[in-house]
Amino acid sequence: MVNCPECVSREIEKKKKQLEAEFNAAEEEGREFRVPAYRELEDEIDFEGLGLIMKLDTSTKHFICKRCGLYATREQISDIRYKLSRKEATRADKQYDYLDWWQKSKKEKEAE
């Protein structure tokens, strides 16, 4: 089964927004909040239920996404997925840096 990389990336964006809100709420209440890794977010998505499984056109060997209309070969799909995950990884790193900084500053405050 092939998932549409564009739609999957959009679903992950949505999940991240949700997480950000939860994180901010936890921060305000002084609760601990563990931000899941990109991989974990991906695992939580119900690809089939959301209609993210691409349909194979056997005559042209192209996959079609019924949701966004992406039309691509298997190679093109892995290329798109790779580019999207690279972009995502850089952003996730920044988020972790932020979390690290925030947790450290919190500990320093507690130590005073």
Q: Which residues contact Zn ion by CB under 5 A?
A: 4, 6-7, 65, 67-68, 70
User: Minimum Å distance from CB 27 to Zn ion?
Assistant: 33
Residue 55, burial from CB neighbour count under 10 angstroms (0-12, 13-18, 19+): exposed
Phi–psi pair at 37, nearest 5 degrees: -75, 160
- Min separation Cβ 70 and Zn ion, Å: 5
The C-alpha atoms of residue 75 and residue 85 are separated, in whole angstroms, by: 15
Shortest Å distance, C-beta 96 to Zn ion:
28
Q: Which is nearer to Zn ion, 25 or 68 (CB)?
A: 68
